[in-house]
């Protein structure tokens, strides 16, 4: 294989890597390095993240903490743990973000939520645009596939070109 053919191959491989990275679901460790702890500033952590449908949250914490999901913004604001669902206490809790919308999590240990140990996660549809209506998700998914299709086609043209070049 000559030089230009291998450059084309590299370009193609690079594009495939970019594509696969784009399509890959991300894992968000809640609170970053500090993890799920009273001292973590969850608002500033969350504001630096983009949560997409298909991504997962991972809560990492010591046995003095737990994770519970609160059903509404008002319960979240009041730290109303009475109606909490989906309680987890295994120290390494994984939550999958299956659809666009906002979800509320707080620590179940007495007093911790009031100390700020809570986080609000707003998930957007996979294309990255916030989606308030439920029917926006399939549309953005298919346009993503459409773009990906053109990328793959472009890559194939390059490979065919480099193969033809080699045979001269
Ligand atoms: Cu706690």
Chain segment 117-164, per-residue pLDDT in tens: 999 999 999 864 444 444 333 433 444 555 566 666 666 767 667 766
Q: Are 145 and 139 in contact (CB under 8 A)?
A: no
Pick from 43, 100, 44, 104: which is nearest to 73 by CA?
Answer: 104
Q: Are 103 and 121 in contact (CB under 8 A)?
A: yes
65 Cα to the center of ligand 1, angstroms: 4
- According to DSSP, the residues that pair with 29 across neighbouring strands are 58
66 Cα to the center of ligand 1, angstroms: 6
Computed over every residue of the chain, the mean pLDDT equals 81
* Angstrom distance (rounded) from CA 36 to CA 108: 12
Sorting pLDDT into bands at 50, 70 and 90, what band is 58?
very high
96 Cα to the center of ligand 1, angstroms: 21
pLDDT score of 79: 96
Q: Are 105 and 121 in contact (CB under 8 A)?
A: yes
Sorting pLDDT into bands at 50, 70 and 90, what band is 1?
low
pLDDT score of 55: 97
83 Cα to the center of ligand 1, angstroms: 17
Question: What is the DSSP secondary structure assignment for residue 25, as one 8-state letter?
Answer: P
**Helix residue ranges, H only, 39-135:** 42-47, 73-78
Pick from 115, 68, 67: which is nearest to 91 by CA?
Answer: 67
Residue 54: pLDDT above 80?
Answer: yes
Sorting pLDDT into bands at 50, 70 and 90, what band is 66?
very high
pLDDT score of 126: 80
112 Cα to the center of ligand 1, angstroms: 5
Query: pTM for this one?
Result: 0.65
Q: Which of the following CATH numbers is that of domain 3-167: 2.60.40.420, 1.10.10.10, 2.60.40.10, 3.40.50.2300?
A: 2.60.40.420
Residue 37: CB atoms within 10 Å:
17
């Amino acid at each position: 294989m000559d030089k230009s053919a291998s450059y084309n191959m590299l370009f193609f491989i690079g594009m495939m890597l970019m594509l696969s990275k784009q399509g890959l679901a991300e894992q968000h460790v809640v609170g970053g390095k500090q993890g799920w702890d009273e001292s973590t500033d969850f608002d500033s952590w969350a504001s630096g993240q983009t949560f997409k449908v298909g991504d997962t949250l991972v809560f990492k914490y010591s046995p003095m903490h737990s994770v519970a999901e609160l059903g509404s913004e008002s319960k979240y604001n009041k730290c109303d743990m009475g109606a909490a669902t989906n309680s987890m206490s295994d120290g390494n809790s994984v939550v999958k973000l299956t659809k666009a919308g906002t979800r509320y999590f707080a620590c179940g240990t007495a007093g911790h939520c009031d100390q700020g140990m809570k986080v609000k996660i707003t998930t957007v549809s996979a294309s990255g645009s916030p989606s308030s209506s439920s029917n926006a998700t399939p549309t953005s998914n298919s346009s993503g596939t459409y773009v990906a299709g053109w990328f793959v086609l472009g890559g194939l043209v390059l490979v065919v070109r480099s193969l033809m070049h080699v045979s001269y």
